[in-house]
Amino acid sequence: MPEGHILEVREVTKRFGGVTAVNHCSLVVQPRKIYGLIGPNGSGKTTLFNCITGLERRDEGEIRFKDERIDGLKPHQVACRGIGRTFQIIRVFPELTALENLLVVSRQGGLAGNRQRAMELLEFVKLDRLQNEYAGNLSYGQQKLLEFIRVLMTDPELILLDEPAAGVNPTLLNDLLDAIRKLRAQGKTILIVEHDMKVVMGLCEMVFVLDYGEKIAEGPPGVIQTNERVIEAYFGR
């Protein structure tokens, strides 16, 4: 087993009826790096995220986080071990205010004690003036940012982002990418599902490619771009 990895997915398989969404997939994630997880639609990226975070139970294989098995744990247990995630479709709490969306996920200390950290995060993405607005009234981009800082509120070691760039305008996107790089500098590990190749190539140090639930390639972005199997998966033979 490689030394010092934070997440290890070993031979994980997930089937839905006759469809094998994830097929004997293995990957190893080292701490303090930004990883990309790419693949055509339906290649099993989100299902793999769901298996890691406990929303789906894997049928076969093992998932380890910091050398402890986490497959079989409930989602809130996985989260409390230090894995945070965002969703492809925004899932803020619409009838809670922006501030409450952050306070609700705090785990220790009183609400008052967490307020300062929550306000810092709101400022970080320039939402501090909207702290008392219902999250459901925010714009799409603002909700996306809110969901992003809600993950940070729990201070996870490993952050899984499911298409953070989708539907975000270019200015906002740059802010978001900066924020992700800052997190890495703070010592976080990040795994991103992303469709936008430019984002993946510019941000990730290592990329895993899935196709029909199988990992078909892994490596630095530059190498991946020229990999024949990857090109084939995306553009056909």
Partner 1 sequence: MMAGILWLLLAVMGGLAVLPLFASGYIISFTIQIFMWIALAGSWNLISGFTGYVSFGHVAFFGIGSYTGALLVTKAGWHWLPASLAGCVPAAALALLIGYPCLRLKGPYFAIAMLGLNEVVRALVSYFESFTGGGSGISLPPILSIAPVYYAMGGVAIAVTLLTYRIITSRFGLRLLSIREDEIAAETMGINTSLMKLYAFLLSALFPGIVGGLYAWYSSYIEPLSVFPLLTTITMIIMCLFGGKGTVLGPVLGAVLLSVFQELVWARFIFVHQAIFGALIVGVVLLMPRGIMGVLQERYRLPRAV
- Kindly list the residues in this chain that would bind partner 1 in the complex (CB under 8 A): 53, 55, 74-76, 79-80, 84-85, 87, 91-96, 100, 103-107, 110-111, 132, 134, 150-151, 154
In the complex, least distance from residue 100 CB atom to partner 1, rounded to whole angstroms = 6
Q: Which residue's CB is nearer to partner 1, number 28 or number 55?
A: 55
Dihedral over Cα of 5, 200, 159, 70: its sign: negative
Q: What is the largest CA-CA distance in the chain?
A: 58
Q: Which residue's CB is nearer to partner 1, number 97 or number 189?
A: 97
Q: Which residue's CB is nearer to partner 1, number 53 or number 142?
A: 53
Q: Which residue's CB is nearer to partner 1, number 150 or number 215?
A: 150
Nearest to 160 by CA among 69, 82, 76: 82
Integer Cα distance of 93 and 83 in angstroms: 20
Integer Cα distance of 19 and 203 in angstroms: 32
In the complex, least distance from residue 168 CB atom to partner 1, rounded to whole angstroms = 19
Backbone angles phi, psi at 40, to 5 degrees: -65, 170
Q: Which residue's CB is nearer to partner 1, number 154 or number 227?
A: 154
In the complex, least distance from residue 96 CB atom to partner 1, rounded to whole angstroms = 6
In the complex, least distance from residue 66 CB atom to partner 1, rounded to whole angstroms = 16
Bridge-based pairing of strands 206-211 and 34-38 is parallel
Encoded tokens for 6: 């934070």
In the complex, least distance from residue 105 CB atom to partner 1, rounded to whole angstroms = 4
In the complex, least distance from residue 14 CB atom to partner 1, rounded to whole angstroms = 17
Q: What is the DSSP string of 174-226?
A: HHHHHHHHHHHHTT-EEEEE-S-HHHHHHH-SEEEEEETTEEEEEE-HHHHHT
Integer Cα distance of 37 and 163 in angstroms: 10
Q: Which residue's CB is nearer to partner 1, number 91 or number 129?
A: 91
Encoded tokens for 161: 């982002």
